[in-house]
Amino acid sequence: MANGKLNCWEYKKCAREKIDQNTGGLSVCPAASDASFDGINSGHNGGRFCWAVAGTCCAGKVQGTYAQKRESCMDCDFYKIVCAEEGTANLRTKFLRFVPLGCGSSFLRDMTVRHIKKGERFINQGDRGEASYIIQRGSALLLVEKEGEFHPVDHRGEGDILGMSALFTGEPRQAHVEAESNMVVWVINKTTLDDISVNDPDLSEFLTEIVADRFDSKRPVAERTIGKYITTGIIGRGGYSIVYKGVHQNSGFPVAVKMMRHDLSMKPEFFSSFRNEAKIISNLNHRGIVRVYDVEERFKTLFIIMEHLEGESLNDMRKRLNTLSPDLAANVITQVGHALYYAHKQGIVHRDINPDNMFIQKNRRVKLLDFGVACPISTDDYQFGCAMSYLAPELLDGAPADQQSDIYSLGITAYELVAGKRPYPEESVANLIKMKRSMDIPDLSGKVPGLTENLRRFISKSCVRDPHKRYQDMGQALGDLLSPQDKSDISSRLGKNT
C-alpha cells in the first residue's frame, strides 16, 4: 500500500506480490515486479497501474498484453477506483495546483474547451505539437510505439497536463495519448504558452519542471533525432542531466547523448556550466577521459554527444564488492591519476572527483567523467561541485579549487575503496565539516589486509588537511603509487595520451 492507497494485489487479495504458500507455488505477478512503473499512480512498481503491465494475473487467469486485455481492464472495479483517486494524486505536477478550479482566472476563461470521447487517440507520436491540454475531467493513457509494439508508459488524470513537452521544445510528440474515459480538456496553444512565459514567471517555471520530469522515464521512450544522431533509450540520469544511448544516423556508430534537464536549461548559470563541460572535454584528448564528439543546441536545451561506454561506475563496483583489493584499488586510482595529471597540465581542475564520476569499462580501463563543474586552476569560483564527503577542507573556507583539492578527493576515494567506507562519520553535515577542518583521516596501517605501503602513503599524504603538505601535483602523487620498476619511466608515461 502506498500513501494509504491499495495496490491491485491488495484489492484482489491474490497474494501474488510475493511467493509463499498462499500462491500455490505461482510466480510473482508482473504488476508487483515491474520496477519500471515505480511511482506511477502513487503506487509500488506497477501495482496501481496493473492494466498497463503485460502478463498480470486477474480472476485466476494470466492476462496478455495491454492491447489484448484493455477492454476487460477498463471495466474492472479496481481500475475505476484508481481513476477516481487520481484527481488528487501527483499534486506536484498538477496544473490546477497553480490555477485552481473556481478561482475565476482569466487564463482559464481565455482557453478553449474540447470534449474527447473514450478511446479516441488525440495526440499522435511523431506529430508536431500545436497544442497541449489540461485535463478538467476524465483520464488518459500514454503509449510509446517502438518497433511495432505499443508500450503503456503513464496515466494522467484531472489537473494533469498533456503534450506540453512538444509544445515547449518544438520537437515531435514522444508518445500517443488515448482517452481512457470521456474527457473534458482545456487547450493551450503556442501563443498562450508564450504569454505565460512573459506574464507569469512562477507558472512558467512550473511548466518547465513538468517538461524536465516527463523526459525522465523508466519505461520505453520514443526515438529522438538530435542532429546527426538518434537516441534509443535512457541509460543514466543525474541531478542536472539525462543520458541516452544513441547511434549516428548514417554509420550506426554507438554514442551516449547527455541532455541538460529543461528546468535547468532555462537558468543561465546552469546552461553556461553545461556548455562549459562540453567545451572543456572536447579539448581534452586522453584515453582516461571520456571523449566528446559533438555538441547540439536544440529543443531549448543542450546535448553533448559523447563516447558510449559499457561497464559500471566505480561506485557501483564498490557497492557490489564492498571493498576492492588493494591491488585493484591502486590500479584504478593510478589510471584516474594519469587522467588528472593530463587535465591539470591543460590547466583544468575537475572539482568533482568521486567514485560516481569514474567508469570501469569491461576491459578494466577507467574513464574519468563529468567535467560539468570543471574550471581553470585557481579560478575564484566557489560553487562546490564535489560531494561534501570528498570535498577538500580548504574549499569550505573559500579557497579556490586547484590540483591539491582534486588530489584530496582522489585520496578520499582510494580510502573508501579499500576500507569499504569513507573516513569520517556522516550522520550530520555540520559534524562532518567540523571533523574535516579539525582532524586528519585515520591511518589505515594494519586495518586493511594486503594494503601496500605505497597505497597507504598515497592515501595519507593526499588527505592531509593542510594543502601545502599534500602532494603538490599529480605527478608527484603518482610517483608514490607506482611500483619501483615503473618509476624509472614515469616522466615518459605521464604525458602520453595512449
Which grid cell is 1?
500500500
pTM, to two decimals: 0.68
For residues 358 and 476, membership in a common domain is answered with: yes
Domain boundary among 176, 193, 213: 213
Give the number of other CB atoms < 10 A from CB of residue 483.
10
245 and 179 inside one domain: no
Q: Provide the pLDDT for residue 29.
A: 81
Q: How confident is the model at residue 18 (pLDDT cuts 50, 70, 90)?
A: low
Distances (CA, A) of 263 to 2, 214, 215, 301, 398: 28, 11, 11, 9, 28
Q: In this predicted structure, what is the pLDDT of residue 212?
A: 65
On the question of pLDDT at 368 being above 70, the answer is yes
What average pLDDT does range 288-298 have in this prediction?
88
The predicted pLDDT at position 45 comes to: 65
Q: How confident is the prediction for the chain on average, in pLDDT?
A: 81
Q: Judge if 131 and 242 occupy the same domain.
A: no
For 463: left if phi > 0, alpha if psi spans -120 to 50, otherwise beta; the answer is: alpha
Q: Higher pLDDT residue, 439 or 483?
A: 439
Any domain includes 424: yes
326 & 454 share domain: yes
Whether pLDDT at 39 is above 70: no
pLDDT in tens, 176-218: 999 988 999 989 888 887 777 777 777 777 777 666 666 666 6
Answer whether residue 75 shows pLDDT above 70: yes
Does residue 408 share a domain with residue 349? yes
Shared domain for 171 and 297, answered yes or no, is: no
Q: What is the CA radius of gyration of the chain?
A: 26
- The pLDDT confidence band at residue 447, using thresholds 50, 70 and 90, is very high
The confidence score (pLDDT) of residue 256 equals: 92
- For position 413, what pLDDT does the model report? 98
Among 277, 307, 337, where does a domain finish? 307
Model confidence over 343-357: pLDDT tens digits?
Answer: 999 988 998 899 999
What domain range includes position 292?
Answer: 224-307
Q: Kindly state whether residue 149 falls inside one of the protein's structural domains.
A: yes
Which contacts qualify for 324-327: CB closer than 8 Å, 24 or more apart?
Answer: 324/417, 324/418, 325/450, 326/418, 326/448, 326/450, 326/451, 326/452, 326/455, 327/450, 327/452
317/302 same-domain check: no
Query: Residues with catalytic annotation?
Result: 352
Q: Are residues 60 and 127 in the same domain?
A: no
Give domain status of residue 218, yes or no.
no
Do residues 455 and 366 both lie within one domain?
yes
> Which residue type, as a one-letter code, is found at position 267?
K
Shared domain for 121 and 231, answered yes or no, is no
Residues 133 and 58 in one domain: no
With respect to residue 121, please indicate whether it lies within any of the assigned structural domains.
Answer: yes
Asked whether residue 261 falls in the same domain as residue 242, the answer is yes
**pLDDT higher than threshold 90 for residue 334:** yes
Q: Tell me if 26 is assigned to some domain.
A: yes
The answer as to whether 3 is a domain residue is no
Better pLDDT: 271 or 140: 140
Last residue of a domain, one of 213, 247, 271: 213
| Each residue's pLDDT tens digit, 93-132 | 456 555 555 554 556 666 789 999 988 999 999 998 889 9
Say which CATH number the domain at 275 has.
3.30.200.20
Number of domains forming the structure of the chain: 4
